[in-house]
Structure 1
Amino acid sequence: MTISVKAIIGSTSSTSYNLKVVEYLRKKYAGKLDITPVFINDVDMFSVDIENNQPENVKDFLDNVRDSDAVLFAVPEYNFSIPGSLKNAVDWLSRSNFAIKDKPAFIVGASMGVLGSVRAQLHLREILTNPMLSPAILPNNEVYIGSIHE
């Protein structure tokens, strides 16, 4: 039996290094983990004005993440933090009836900087402590891939 992992790709770039990391993990752990990338490119901006009448792309994103055993966040670092598109996706998750609450989660990240998204991952970990999110972030799981372009 394989574990279903939805990998939220934190970058909207078509040449995302973090997507490449997820693809590597998908191949390496095939047979143990069924890792499926989840793209956030088309997720509408969160607004309380549409919160109760969610667009189809938001519903699809939330259902996709909810339908998993675990969640992987693949996090690039933009200006020492997470990209706005990833924050938007997390904002929707916080309003989705606990889609990731207590769900095992882990974070990986790659960037062209030498620290490999360490600041972005720290920010994401802090955001995920929100009681409306509260995934079970796996301990001792810190993967920072720096200078990924090399």
Structure 2
Amino acid sequence: MECRIAGIYGSLRRDSCNKKLILRAQQLCAEHVPKARIDIIDWSQLPVFNQDLEEDPPNSVLKLKEEIGNCDAILFSTPGPLKNAIDWASRTRIGNRGDVLSKKPVAVISTCSSGTGSVQTVLNQILIALNMITVDTPSIMLSGAYKTFQEDGSLKSKEIEEKIVKLLNDLVILNKRLKDKF
């Protein structure tokens, strides 16, 4: 059984460090995490969350819920306007998928110039409130992110890359335990 992990990065900017971090995690997963893969979810076409649209949501919202619903776990790379995607995905009345976040394993990695720890703390509180099950360690917070990447997209710190692999393995293990339990 393969564990499909939804990779969702917070910043939509083309050269975003959060995007680079998710892409690197995707490569590390393919190389070092057996029976798992990260599928990057593009949420760039989502409108700003508007509860008035729940009855007749845009196709981009239905697509987001379908893609998350088809995955076993989620890896967020934040900060950025990620809360908008979480708001849409958490709505139970949209589409035929219902609640696609509850009891789903999730981990958070982040890049930022400052304040990374507080962003992760707030996001983890939101995820817990949505009944998601978080993998909290190892904590991966890259400050000064532009200086942490090599030109080929790898990280300069092999220690951070090893932490990402450990986090992904722990996410896969949590997913298996939850599947066995439910």
Shift in Å, 1:126: 1.3
Q: Which runs of 4+ in 1 moved over 6 A?
A: none
Q: What does the per-residue CA deviation read over 1:14-43, in whole Å, with 9 as the maximum and x for residues that have no partner?
A: 111111111111111215221111122211
Corresponding residue number in structure 2 for 1:147: 144
Matched, 1:92 2:98: no
Q: What does the per-residue CA deviation read over 1:88-111, in whole Å, with 9 as the maximum and x for residues that have no partner?
A: 111112213220111111000011
Which segment is superposed worse, 12-21 or 85-94?
85-94
Corresponding residue number in structure 2 for 1:107: 108
Shift in Å, 1:139: 3.6
Matched, 1:138 2:135: yes
Shift in Å, 1:68: 0.3
8 Å CA contact retained: 2:101, 2:131: yes
SS in 2 for 1:119: helix
Larger radius of gyration: 2
8 Å CA contact retained: 2:128, 2:134: no
- TM-score with structure 2 length normalisation? 0.71
Return the structure number with greater helix share. 2
> CA RMSD of the aligned region, Å?
1.5
Identical-pair percentage: 24
SS in 1 for 2:54: coil
Matched, 1:34 2:37: yes
- TM-score with structure 1 length normalisation? 0.85
SS in 2 for 1:20: helix
Q: What does the per-residue CA deviation read over 1:84-143, in whole Å, with 9 as the maximum and x for residues that have no partner?
A: x31111111221322011111100001123x5x21111111111122xx21111142421
How many residue pairs get aligned? The number is 139
SS in 1 for 2:51: coil
8 Å CA contact retained: 1:107, 1:141: no
Could you tell me which runs of 5 or more consecutive residues in structure 2 were left unpaired when the two chains were aligned: 93-97, 148-182
SS in 2 for 1:40: coil
8 Å CA contact retained: 1:19, 1:37: no
8 Å CA contact retained: 1:10, 1:40: no
Could you tell me which runs of 5 or more consecutive residues in structure 1 were left unpaired when the two chains were aligned: 77-82
